Chains A and B, each alone.
Chain A
Amino acid sequence: MRSEAGATLPLKAAAIGGLLFLHIPLALIVLYAFTTEEKSFQFPPPGLTLRWFGAAWFDRPDIWGPLWLSLQVALLATLIALVLGTLAAAALWRARFFGKDSLSLLFILPIALPGIITGIALRSAFDIMSVPFSTWTIVLGHATFCIVVVYNNALARFRRLSPGMIEASMDLGASGAQTFRYVILPQIGSALLAGGMLAFALSFDEVIVTTFTAGQQATLPIWMLNELIRPRQRPVTNVVALIVIAVTFLPILAAYYLTREGEHTGGAGK
C-alpha cells in the first residue's frame, strides 16, 4: 500500500461521471413513480403524488401473478444453475484433458451468444418436440444462461482453493461427502452466493429469451412490456421497478460483504 498515491483528479471525475451516467436514469424512474401524469410522461412532471403506490397495492391484482412467477422462475433457474455450474467448475478446475478449453467455451456460449438466438433456438426445439409452454420452459431457458454465471464465480474460487486441503481431508478419513460439506463448501460458499445472486438478477429481469419461451404466462418484465404499451396507470410500472430496487438493496449489500470475507479465507490457501 505504501507507494500508492491518491487517485488523480481526472480519474475521480471520470469515475464519478460514469456513476452519475448509471444513476440519473434510475433517479428518473424514482421521480416518475410520483408523477401525476397517467398516460405519457413529459419533463418536468406537472405535479407529484403518492397515489400510484396505493394504486399498485390495492387496485392492481394483476401485478402479483407475474411477480410470483418471476420469483419462482428465478429461484428455480438459480438452483439448477447452482448445482450444474458448481459441478462444471469442480470438474474443470483441476482436470487436464484434451478439449477442456472447448468445454469451458461450451458453458460460456449461452451468455456469449445473443439472447434472441437462445430464444428462437429453444422455441424451435420446443415446437419440434411438441413441448407445451409452461413455467418449466421459461426455467429451462433461464437456467441455461445462468449456469455460466455460477460456473465462473465458482471456478474463480476453486482456483484459489488449496488442493492440499482436500488431500488432507481425504487422508484424514473424511468421505467425499464430508469433504465437500466441511472443507469445500465453506470455501466456495460465498462465491456460490455471489454467483447465485447474479444468476437470480439475470433471470428476474430477463425479457429477450422469455418472450420466446413463455407462452401465455407473463413474468414481471413481460408484464411491464405489456403495461408500457398500454395507456393505463403508467407510473405503476415505475412504482414496481422502484420497489424491486428497494427490496434488492439489502441482499446485494449482504452478498457484497459475504464475498469480501470469503476472499480473505480463500486467499489464505495461496
Chain B
Amino acid sequence: MTFTKTAITSLAAIAAAAGIAMAQEARTEIGPGEGQVDIVAWPGYIERGETDKNFDWVTGFEKETGCKVNVKTAATSDEMVTLMNQGGFDLVTASGDASLRLVAGRKVQPINIALIKDWDTLDKRLKEAPWHTVDGVHYGVPYQWGPNVLAYNTRVFKDTPKSWSVVFEEQTLPDGKSNKGRVQAFDGPIYVADGALFLMKTRPELGIKNPYELNQAQFDAVIALLKNQRQLVGRYWHDAMVQIDDFKNEGVVASGSWPFQVNLLKADKQPVASTIPEEGATGWADTTMMHANAPHPNCAYMWLNHSLQPKLQGDLAAWFGSVPSVPAACKGNELLTDAGCATNGFENFDKIWFWRTPTAKCGVEGGCVPYSQWDKAFRQVMSQ
C-alpha cells in the first residue's frame, strides 16, 4: 500500500535519525547482467548524447554491459521518494533530503562496497557522509554534489549581486526597477532552509545554527520572511526547463537555481550568470541508491561501478555544473577543464548546507519543527 508506505517512510526517517539500524544483507557478488537497469534521476543527470552529443555516459555502458539504461526524471526529492515507494526501479540519484527517508523506509538496500572496485577513489569527505551511511552501513554510492546558486541576469546586474536579499527583500535593482515580479524561488518546502540560511546571517539574534534545525520561533521568523517574499515572486519554479523558459521569456532576473539551468542558458547565449552570495548556499549531495527490490540488481551494480569512472564524473560535472565525487575526475577532462572543479565549488564543501530532511528530534533545545510542518507552512506561504 503506497499510502501507508509513504507514511511509514516518514516515521522511519525519524527512527533512522535516532539511530535505529536497518537490517538487510548486501549482495556479495555481481552476476551476469539482466539486460536493463531503470534509474530515477534528476533531469540532466544521465545523458546519452541526445541533448548534446559530447555529453554521453550511457551508450558506452550499454554496449559494454548489455544493460539498457532507462531513465525516469523527477523534479523534486519528494517526487523521487514517491517513485521509489511505488517501486519497479533499480536505482535513484537521491539528495540528502530523500536519501535518509529512503533508508528508513527500507526502500533501498545496503551496498557492498567491496563490489565497487573504485570505492577508494571517492572524495574522502563523501565516503562516510551521514546522508547515505547509517550506523556504518553504506546505502549508496556518492554521485555528484553542488550548491543551489543565485542565478542572475547580467544585463540587469552589472556587478555580481552579493546577497540573497535580491530575492528575499523588495528593493530597486541596478537597472532602476523594483525586483517585484522579477525574481523566483524554488517550489518545495525544502526552500524554507534557504530562508533560514539568509536569516542565520542577517538576523543573528534569532540564533539559527543550522537551517535544517529550527525551533518554533526561528521557524516563524523564516515563514514571515517567505510570506514577504511571496509578494515579490511571480511564479515559483518547479522544474528546470520551465525556469529556463522563465529566464528567457518571462523577464525573470534573479532566482535560486541549479548550475544546470545556468549552463544551459549560457549555452543558449542568454545573459545569465551565477554566484554563491556571502550568506552561503544550500546545496545537494546526491547518492546513487539501489531499490530494496531492484528487479535488475546485477546491472544496477554495474552502473554503480560505471558511475565512478573519472570520465563520466568529469563530463557530468561539466554538463550539470556540479562537483565530481571522484577528485581524479577534476584533472584532464576536456569538457570540464582543469579549472572546472574549482569553478563549480570544489573548495566550498564546508560552506554548503546540504539538503536534508528536518525532523522533530534535533540538537536545538525544545525540539525542532519537523518536515510535515515545513510542508504545511510552505503551502500557506504559496497560497497567500
Contacts and interface: CB of A to CB of B under 8 A. Distances in A.
Nearest to B89: A216
Contact size range, B: 20 to 34
A229 B86 contact: no
Nearest to B50: A232
A231 B1 contact: no
A139 to B, nearest CB: 18
Contact of A230 (B43, B86, B268): B43
B44 interface: yes
A215 interface: yes
Interface string A223-259: 0001011111100000000000000000000000000
A233 B43 CA distance: 14
A215 B86 CA distance: 7
B248 A42 contact: yes
A133 B87 CA distance: 10
Contacts of B72: 216, 226
Interface of B: 1-4, 38, 43-44, 50-51, 72-73, 75, 86, 88-89, 239-242, 244-245, 248-249, 264, 268
Nearest to B245: A40
B51 A232 contact: yes
B73 A123 contact: no
A123 B50 CA distance: 34
- 10 tightest Cβ-Cβ pairs between the two chains A and B: A127-B1, A216-B88, A229-B239, A232-B51, A232-B50, A40-B245, A127-B2, A40-B244, A229-B241, A231-B51
13 contacts: A38-B51, A39-B268, A40-B245, A42-B248, A42-B249, A226-B72, A229-B242, A230-B73, A230-B241, A231-B44, A231-B51, A231-B241, A232-B50
B43 to A, nearest CB: 6
Nearest to B243: A40
Contacts of A123: 2
A229 to B, nearest CB: 4
A231 B264 CA distance: 9
Contacts of B245: 40-41
Interface string A119-157: 000011001101001000000000000000000000000
Nearest to A59: B50
B83 to A, nearest CB: 9
Given A128-B1, A216-B38, A233-B50, A228 B73 contact: no
Interface string A200-219: 00000000000000011000
A231 B38 contact: no
Interface of A: 38-42, 59, 123-124, 127-128, 130, 133, 215-216, 226, 228-233
Contacts of A216: 38, 72, 86, 88-89
A226 B239 CA distance: 11
Nearest to B86: A215
Contacts of B86: 133, 215-216
Nearest to A218: B72
A231 B243 CA distance: 12
B248 A40 contact: yes
A226 B248 contact: no
A38, A39, A127, A215 — most chain B CB neighbours (10 Å): A39
Contacts of A40: 241, 244-245, 248-249, 268
Nearest to B38: A216
A165 B73 CA distance: 59
B73 A229 contact: yes
B48 to A, nearest CB: 9
Given A42-B249, A127-B3, A229 B75 contact: yes
B43 A229 contact: yes
A229 B244 contact: no
Given A42-B249, A127-B3, A231-B51, A215 B73 contact: no
